[in-house]
Structure 1
Amino acid sequence: MDDAQIIELGLSLTERAIALLNSHAIYPDSLQKKMLETHIKAMVWRSFSGESLPELDMEMFDEISPICFTLAEQVCRWMENLAYEEAHLLSVHFEVAKENELNPTAGETTCQ
């Protein structure tokens, strides 16, 4: 798979992931969407390249809600050859977006 195909698939999977989040009342803001897109494109690349993730301290993910982890696992199933830890990393993006419901202006910034 070439770079253009990876980018295209990454964008498509990002749109699907955002729709999945929205169906669970999780609405990432524009910055969170861009970060999610970058992460998912990297996941697509790893799924084809076979590159592994560095070792992670799984305790870092103890505060991730079950729904965010479950949704991340679902997105990871859309790709092949991903490490188990990928869902944990992706769930962090989902958890941050989920926090938007508690603070509607979270993540939105303006530069003066």
Structure 2
Amino acid sequence: MTDGNITAEMRQLFQKSGDEALCEQVYLLSKQLCQQENIIMTDYQQLSLISHLSAMVHRSITKEKVTAVDKAIFTDVSENSIKLSKKITDFLPNLIADEIYLLSIHFEVARQNKG
């Protein structure tokens, strides 16, 4: 992830979640985990991740469930990306396990970036 400050666009996504402070916490957790894994996201990938995190926080609050996914389509996602995603989804209550797989794509794609 980039080392830049939180932008107005990022702040807007945090607010959209329904709990700006919680969304920012989840983002900072994901940023810390990415740093530990040496995952560097482009600005676009970072905004895409924050948008997804915002939606996850919103679903956690409203207890809305995502449509179940076929886990077979995630066989090419590394175990490390899955584990990273689980750490983040475990931070939020009321999410179904399928959220892990949807979130893992952000980390898996960013792993392809050249540092």
TM-score, normalising length from structure 2? 0.80
Alignment of 1:1-112 (within 5 A): 5-101=18-114
CA deviation map 1:64-98 (0-9, x unaligned): 00100000001111111110000000000010111
- Superposed structure 1 runs of 4+ greater than 4 Å apart: 2-5
- What percent of counterpart residues are identical? 28
Larger Rg: 1
Which 5+ residue runs of structure 1 have no aligned equivalent? 105-112
Query: Aligned in 2, Cα 1:92/1:4: closer, same or farther, shift over 3 Å?
Result: closer
Is contact 2:17–2:57 with CA below 8 Å preserved after alignment? no
Aligned-residue offset at 1:4 = 7.0
Whole-angstrom CA distance in 2 between matches of 1:48 and 1:27: 29
Aligned CA-pair RMSD: 1.7
Residue 98 of structure 1 aligns to which amino acid in structure 2? R
TM-score, normalising length from structure 1? 0.82
Whole-angstrom CA distance in 1 between matches of 2:16 and 2:45: 23
Residue 50 of structure 1 aligns to which amino acid in structure 2? K
Q: How many residues align?
A: 101
Whole-angstrom CA distance in 1 between matches of 2:113 and 2:17: 32
Which 5+ residue runs of structure 2 have no aligned equivalent? 1-14
Query: Aligned in 2, Cα 1:39/1:48: closer, same or farther, shift over 3 Å?
Result: same
2:112 is paired with a residue of what secondary structure? helix
CA deviation map 1:5-32 (0-9, x unaligned): 5233212211220111111111111111
1:100 is paired with a residue of what secondary structure? coil
